[in-house]
Amino acid sequence: MRLRSSHPAINIIQHDHDVLDAVLQGMLQIIRTIGESGKAPDLKVLRAMLFYIHEYPERVHHPKEDRFLFPAIRKRTKAADEAILELEVQHTLGDRLVLDLEHALNRYELEGAAAFDAFALMAEQYAGFYKAHMRLEEQTILPIAMEVLNENDWRQLDAAFTEEKNPLSGDRADMQQLFSMIVNLAPPPVGVGPEL
């Protein structure tokens, strides 16, 4: 379900999720193609994708959810408490899982085909974990936010989410540049880079 709203904060969260979903999907597609073809590609594209998946949530997306969205909802209702707690734990856990995934990619790069299956399995598991995280936010948290937050809450949230330069959240433009690089490196049909 894709949420649309008159509130920029909701649209930014949904847009961030869509881009992350596209990167995760692209990563899985490339990994599955490697698994099927046995071809060893230039791993730069996977490295760039993992860098994006790591940096974007940690620097741009999660801080805004943790600092602004979740507290605003908690102030108005207890109905989302359990889900918010779970999401906060997942923000921390997700960071750890991406590091493990980067480590598995390093091993694949150094050890070759013998380390591929472990990396591929971890990537599938991570993508499943993160997609479930985004679904919980889209299907449970954002609908509750739309129900309970008042105009003043939205003014503050919209301002926080549209602020481009936030010392805690980094710069969205850097991430857009990285995303373009991924598209240029990724083999078709994921991107417009060289064939595998």
> Given the rule CB under 5 A, which residues bind Fe ion?
65, 137
Are 127 and 163 within 8 A, CB to CB?
no
Give the nearest distance from C-beta 188 to Fe ion in angstroms.
29
Please list, in sequence order, all residues whose beta carbon lies within 8 angstroms of the beta carbon of residue 42, skipping any fewer than 6 positions away: 185, 194
Query: CA 28 to CA 158: how far, in whole Å?
Result: 33
Give the nearest distance from C-beta 148 to Fe ion in angstroms.
18
Are 14 and 138 within 8 A, CB to CB?
yes
Nearer to Fe ion, 106 or 166 (CB): 166
Give the nearest distance from C-beta 62 to Fe ion in angstroms.
5
Give the nearest distance from C-beta 64 to Fe ion in angstroms.
9
Phi, psi of 165 (to 5 degrees): -105, 105
Nearer to Fe ion, 92 or 125 (CB): 92
Nearer to Fe ion, 137 or 158 (CB): 137
Nearer to Fe ion, 65 or 153 (CB): 65
Nearer to Fe ion, 108 or 161 (CB): 161
Give the nearest distance from C-beta 137 to Fe ion in angstroms.
5
Question: Please, which contacts does 82-91 make with residues 24 or more away whose CB atoms are closer than 8 Å?
Answer: 83/136, 83/140, 83/141, 84/141, 86/136, 87/133, 87/136, 87/137, 87/141, 90/129, 90/133, 91/57, 91/62, 91/65, 91/66
Please list, in sequence order, all residues whose beta carbon lies within 8 angstroms of the beta carbon of residue 148, skipping any fewer than 6 positions away: 73, 76, 77, 79
